[in-house]
Amino acid sequence: MSNMSIVTTFILSGIPHAPVLDTMLFGIFLVIYILTVLGNLLILMVIRVDSHLHTPMYYFLSNLSFIDMWFSTVTVPKMLMTLVSPGGGAISFHSCVAQFYSFHFLGSTECFLYTVMSYDRYLAISYPLRYSTMMSGRVCALLAAGTWLTGSLHSAVQTILTFHMPYCGPNEIQHYFCDAPPILKLACADTSANEMVIFVNIGVVASGCFFLILLSYVSIVCSILGIRTSEGRHRAFQTCASHCIVVLCFFGPGLFIYLRPGSRDAVDGVVAVFYTVLTPLLNPVVYTLRNKEVKKALLKIKWGSVFTQDK
């Protein structure tokens, strides 16, 4: 791909902001990034240690935490460099390709994983007696592997479509990471066909996943309304609420950026912060503060460590 391009280095412009805010933004995003990594690592540790959490729901949640941890790592450290270093925005052509592929790989895998998680909740609530058989360990592993494989193929298509174009002129990317809309603006050729294919590709995947998730939750609501006790209905709704919150925060900004005509650099940069920086942090926050089982597991680990120290 690089043989077709004269440009060897791109310059990331970073988040649109006043220079006086550099230090403050660096501090805010650094704290968010650290909390994101530690929070998702904590979820991974709790799920691994507590045998009560060795269920399909938490198996998929551990996959989500792993993705979110790296999804944030792909973009945030480079963004932090653009805020504190004069040359922090420089990124080599090959590094840009790698960042682009990793970002779309993790993002599309997460998109597919949300769909699988909604299907898992549908089976758990609609078929409680047959759930353990229908969502066996083998089925969970196959579904998870399918999300990772499909995500990698989807990202490969996006990467090839974007970087097989020749880049020979300006090299400043109006964004804080390598993404298709701002990169294609720098190509020295007509990119209308590429933009259309990428638009359709992302549109089919995102809209398809969102539709399946919506369909799952319509079926879930119908099943919940059939539960006789109010306590049972409340518990079922609470189980799904966390997933709905994270799904809306992930799909909303993504659909806004990729599935609308035209691109506005400043607006896209600000909106992208929501699903690249804030959504990965929401995962550990929402799934721990709203989940009684995870909080119980955390307390067990805490008190277990206290008793160990006393001994």
Q: Is it the case that residue 4 has pLDDT exceeding 60?
A: no
**Residue 301 parent element (H or E):** helix 292-310
Nearest to 239 by CA among 149, 133, 126: 126
Separation of alpha carbons 200 and 276, rounded Å: 22
Q: For the chain, how long is the longest CA-to-CA vector?
A: 71
- What is the token pair recorded at 272? 């992208």
- What are the DSSP calls for 26-75, one per residue? HHHHHHHHHHHHHHHHHHHHHHHH-GGG-SHHHHHHHHHHHHHHHHHHHH
Given the DSSP bridges, would you call strands 90-92 and 9-12 parallel, antiparallel or unpaired?
antiparallel
Q: How confident is the model at residue 239 (pLDDT cuts 50, 70, 90)?
A: low
Separation of alpha carbons 69 and 280, rounded Å: 7
Q: Is it the case that residue 40 has pLDDT exceeding 70?
A: yes
Name the CA dihedral angle for 229, 231, 236, 240, rounded to a multiple of 10 degrees: 140
Q: What is the pLDDT of residue 309?
A: 45
Between 56-84 and 93-126, two packed helices, what is the crossing angle to 10 degrees?
A: 150
The string of pLDDT tens digits covering residues 151-197 is 999 999 999 999 988 998 789 998 899 998 889 989 998 888 888 88
Cβ atoms of residues 151 and 105 within 8 Å: yes
Q: What are the strands of the beta sheet with 172-173, ordered from one edge?
A: 90-92, 9-12, 172-173
Q: Is the dihedral of CA 87, 88, 89, 93 positive or negative?
A: positive
> Within 13 Å and on the Cβ side, how many CA atoms surround 223?
18
Of residues 259 and 165, more confidently modeled: 165
The string of pLDDT tens digits covering residues 90-126 is 999 999 999 999 999 999 999 999 999 999 988 988 8
Separation of alpha carbons 230 and 93, rounded Å: 58
